[in-house]
A and B are shown apart, each in its own frame.
Chain A
Amino acid sequence: NAGVTQTPKFQVLKTGQSMTLQCAQDMNHEYMSWYRQDPGMGLRLIHYSVGAGITDQGEVPNGYNVSRSTTEDFPLRLLSAAPSQTSVYFCASSIQGIGGYTFGSGTRLTVV
C-alpha cells in the first residue's frame, strides 16, 4: 500500500517551460488536493477535486491547471513556469468528510 506517490521529488525549470507534477493514490480516496508551501507562510490550497471528473480552484490557482480523469490520479500542470512558482508542492488525499489526510512526499520546484 503505497499511499500517495508524488513525482518528481526535485525539478528545475526555466521561465516559460511547462511541466506536470504527478500525484497518484491507491487508497480509493475521493478527495485529492494540491498545496504549495513557501517560507514564512502556511500551506496554501491550489486546486482540489472531490471525485473523478470534478475539480475546483483553491486559494492560489493562477498559473496552474488540474484534471481528474480517474480516482487514482490528480496531476498538476504548470503551463508557463514563472519564478514566483518556485516552491515546494504537496499533494494530499482524504476520505471525504471523515478522514485524516495522507500527504505525498513533496516536489521541490525551482524556476530560474
Chain B
Amino acid sequence: KNEVEQSPQNLTAQEGEFITINCSYSVGISALHWLQQHPGGGIVSLFMLSSGKKKHGRLIATINIQEKHSSLHITASHPRDSAVYICAVEDFFYGGSQGNLIFGKGTKLSVKP
C-alpha cells in the first residue's frame, strides 16, 4: 500500500472552474507539502502545512490531521495552472534532524481555454 495516495491521477478542466486535488496518507507526519511541477520539469514548493488552512493567491491548501487527508484547491483556474501537482508528507524528525519527504505520484492537471 502506498503511503501517500493522490486523486485524481489526471484532471482536465475548463478555464474558470474550481479544482480540487486530494491527498491521503497512512503514516504519522510532522508536515505536508504541496509542490507544483511545470511541463518543463522544474519543481516549486507551493505550501507547507501541519494544521488548518493556507491561502496564496488563487491556491488554497487544507489539512485534516485526524483524517490524514489534505486538499489543494485552485479557484478560477487558468491554462497557466496546467502542471503536475505533487503531495509529499514529511515524516517525524528525531533529535532535531530533518524529516524526510515521502511523495505521492502526482496529479496531472490540464486547464483548457
Chain A residues within CB distance 8 Å of chain B: 30-31, 33, 35, 40-45, 48, 50, 58, 88, 90, 92, 94, 96-97, 99-103, 105-106, 108
Contact = CB atoms under 8 A, between A and B. Distances in A.
Describe A's contact surface by its main secondary structure.
Answer: strand
Contacts, number: 60
B96 interface: yes
Interface bin, chain B = 20 to 34
Contact of A103 (B30, B44, B97, B100): B44
Q: Which 9 A-B pairs have the closest CB atoms?
A: A42-B103, A100-B45, A103-B43, A31-B98, A43-B103, A100-B48, A42-B105, A96-B98, A50-B97
Interface of B: 4, 30, 33, 35, 41-45, 47-48, 86, 88, 93, 96-106
Nearest to B9: A40
